Amino acid sequence: MKAAVWPFFHLINDSTLRKSAHKQDRLQSKMAPNITSSPTGVLFEGEKLEEKSAEVPKEKDKNSDNYEVKIVWKNVLIFTSLHLGAIYGLYLVFTSAKLLTTLFAVLLYKCSGIGITAGAHRLWAHRSYKAKWPLRLILIIFNTIAFQDAAIDWARDHRVHHKYSETNADPHNAKRGFFFSHVGWLLCRKHPEVKNKGKGIDLSDLQSDPIVAFQKKYYIVLMPLLCFILPACIPMYFWNESFVNAYFIPVVLRYVFTLNMTWLVNSAAHLFGNKPYDRTINPSENKGVSLFAFGEGWHNYHHVFPWDYKTSELGTYSYNFTTAFIDFFAWIGWAYDLKSVSQDMVKSRVLKTGDGTHEVWGWGDKDQTQEEKKHAVVTHTSTKDQ
Ligand code: ST9
Ligand code: ZN
Ligand code: ZN
């Protein structure tokens, strides 16, 4: 079964291996950063922002001209192979795999996705709700299946992303284009500003969570077991699936698919969509991304109110599977202190900085009251039917 995990070992060991002197290719890249890195967002309810300008900063970073992108060719090779493997997996789905194997891959996508959305994102990175230890245990297992690095490292990058959004300190700065924010940032060394500014991010809450600390300590063992070995063994053992199908569908295809759905939040949801809450920032409301990323595509709202456990205003379950998951666990008492934003606060923000596309306060919306309609001032009325 060692063969099932070999291509991925480099990723967990990367930080360690890198410390040994290995030759780096230094290439000037087109994905050059272009803006400063002063804080642009808050992380939790009540956190104070040092300074917040209404406009996205335009000034060029003094260092940006000297900054060279260092491509990590090993990552390029691995991610390319993984994507080719995923295409082969997709072919196998339609040609030789058992239906159960495909359904199992979908289940793993759902579980590992929740490990990212309800775990690493809404619980650990943003503290938008609290979870009792059994739920934290479930989430850390799901999170390890997802292999997006240890939750504490994920949360560190994500906190930097929110605090210095679209600047050099943002690990996946969307100002550097779709490709960079999608996957390019994992194919090269981080901008020094990410590390500089990241040092100021408080992670003490996560360091003191024994479940998060355990995952970090034993990641090198837990991750290959949960993400690669068990998902390949289960179909072979329980329904006699072939090794090739069991490896390329629930492992490679499922992993690559889940990664891409996650990356779309950084790329598509930072580039395409409406901005009903704040037109001055890049993150946008993207329904398609929300569907596949379990409610994480309502990104304009999320960057304005990152402490809302729904990561959206309304939290409709069909486009926010994660909210349904958290609500279920709140119902049985394992999730608690769910934070949300009052309608008044949302409304005042929409009116102040929104781009005018807010659905709820649009004319004729189902939630618009008769009172509001009655008192509205309508000028230049036409007698013709619209
Ligand atoms: C993956 C992550 O795919 C995806 C995250 C996506 C986030 C999306 C967020 C959107 C919202 C949520 C939506 C969820 C939707 C889910 C939908 C699900 C259906 N602060 O990182 P290193 C320092 S992972 C402070 O190696 P390099 C620190 O000292 C895929 N300090 O930087 C660190 O040492 P240590 C699997 C920082 O050398 C040292 O620098 N994993 C910070 O520039 C070195 O850190 C991979 O493929 C910071 N923020 O290398 C691994 N960062 O860690 C790929 C770093 O010991 N990664 N430091 O403390 C790598 O190979 C490398 O990280 C690299 C950069 C080459 C990219
Ligand atoms: Zn974002
Ligand atoms: Zn976030």
| 377: pLDDT strictly greater than 70 | no
Which residue has the CA at smallest separation from atom 54 of ligand 1?
A: 186
The answer to whether the CB of 148 is under 6 A from ligand 1 is yes
The answer to whether the CB of 71 is under 6 A from ligand 1 is no
pLDDT of residue 42: 59
Range in 48-62, 67-81, 100-114, 285-299 the model is least confident about? 48-62
| 266: pLDDT strictly greater than 50 | yes
| Percent share of the chain, pLDDT over 70 | 76
Give the position, in ligand 1's atom list, of the atom nearest the Cα of 302.
11
For residue 126, how far is its CA from the centre of ligand 3 (angstroms)? 7
Using one digit for the tens of pLDDT, what is the confidence trace for 34-75? Answer: 445 566 565 555 555 444 444 444 444 444 557 899 999 999
User: Cα dist. 48→42, 45, 289, 302 in Å?
Assistant: 7, 9, 30, 17
Instruction: Provide the whole-model pTM.
Output: 0.84
| 278: pLDDT strictly greater than 90 | yes
Nearest to 197 by CA among 25, 43, 327, 307: 43
The answer to whether the CB of 265 is under 6 A from ligand 1 is yes
- Which numbered ligand comes closest to the C-alpha of 261? 1
Which residue has the CA at smallest separation from atom 22 of ligand 1?
A: 15
Across the range 1-18, mean pLDDT stands at: 43
pLDDT of residue 357: 83
For residue 329, how far is its CA from the centre of ligand 3 (angstroms)? 21
| Most informative mutation of 122, 195, 322 for ligand 1 (most atoms within 8 A of CB) | 195
Which residue has the CA at smallest separation from atom 51 of ligand 1?
A: 11
| 27: pLDDT strictly greater than 60 | no
pLDDT of residue 202: 95
pLDDT of residue 283: 97
The answer to whether the CB of 61 is under 6 A from ligand 1 is no
The answer to whether the CB of 290 is under 6 A from ligand 1 is no
pLDDT of residue 43: 58
Across the range 294-305, mean pLDDT stands at: 97
| 15: pLDDT strictly greater than 80 | no
pLDDT of residue 18: 39
For residue 190, how far is its CA from the centre of ligand 3 (angstroms)? 19
Range in 54-58, 158-162, 325-329 the model is least confident about? 54-58
| 374: pLDDT strictly greater than 60 | yes
Average pLDDT, the chain: 85
For residue 122, how far is its CA from the centre of ligand 2 (angstroms)? 13
pLDDT of residue 28: 35
Across the range 190-214, mean pLDDT stands at: 96
Using one digit for the tens of pLDDT, what is the confidence trace for 221-234? Answer: 999 999 999 999 99
| 84: pLDDT strictly greater than 60 | yes
Give the position, in ligand 1's atom list, of the atom nearest the Cα of 157.
49
pLDDT of residue 376: 60
Across the range 270-280, mean pLDDT stands at: 96
| 170: pLDDT strictly greater than 70 | yes
The answer to whether the CB of 102 is under 6 A from ligand 1 is no
For residue 162, how far is its CA from the centre of ligand 2 (angstroms)? 6
pLDDT of residue 31: 44
Give the position, in ligand 1's atom list, of the atom nearest the Cα of 153.
53
Q: Compute, in degrees rounded to 10, the torsion defined by CA atoms 267, 268, 272, 278.
A: -60
Give the position, in ligand 1's atom list, of the atom nearest the Cα of 293.
17
Radius of gyration of the chain (CA): 22
The answer to whether the CB of 120 is under 6 A from ligand 1 is no
For residue 8, how far is its CA from the centre of ligand 3 (angstroms)? 26
| 330: pLDDT strictly greater than 90 | yes
| Most informative mutation of 190, 199, 254 for ligand 1 (most atoms within 8 A of CB) | 190
